[in-house]
Amino acid sequence: MNETVRPSIQAGDRIHGYVVQRIEFVELLQAFFIELEHERTGARHVHIACGDTENVFGVVFRTVPKDSTGVAHILEHTVLCGSKRYPVRDPFFSMLKRSLSTFMNAFTASDWTMYPFATQNPTDYYNLMGVYLDAVFHPLLDPLSFRQEGHRLGFGEDGRLTYKGVVYNEMKGAMSSAPQIMARSLLKELYPDTTYRFNSGGDPQEIPRLTYEGLKEFHRVHYHPSNAWF
């Protein structure tokens, strides 16, 4: 690990369209916490300046669900199925094979969605950043990808029509777990008037209610710099 260098900027400074909000030294991490706000969009940028050799990046959106269709979770999968600059079928997994990354993933939580990665190679860092940012801000959102990642009707092994889909199957497995069922029931009872009563990952009984238009609208409303932390 290299020595942490004190930033040359201070609160109130303007840099590349951002205003520095605060700078604090985090003793535990031996790092400087720098928070900035973009003047035009209101986007927040948090920079951790330290001597660690890992180069880490993440973009986080507030994605507060209004139902249990799993729209945030399905969108997380679908934006990684090709974008304007990278119109390949699956750029995320293509980069897993080609990148020098030490970590790549995406998460959907109860009220936010995050796309993080890490690498020790500076060139790889900017390559991955380009792929990630184009994916979240300019995804293709192809209807076929929605049906593959979200839900569709297909024939089961018994020859009967049944619901399928990556997220649908994932959540069907998750919701067959007794601890998951208990946790979801507990949240509904504890927070009946909040977003936490909904299953952000998607309830298999509710997922088929999500439409392709609903997915696109959720992206339009939530995936914007004004609703993002970098």
CA distance 225 to 22: 20
CA distance 204 to 165: 10
**Residues facing 47 on adjacent strands:** 34
CA distance 132 to 22: 27
Give the pair of three-digit tokens for residue 119: 């690498």
CA distance 187 to 190: 5
Active site residue ranges: 76, 149
Q: Which amino acid is at 99?
A: S
CA dihedral 165, 209, 106, 36 (to 10 degrees): 160
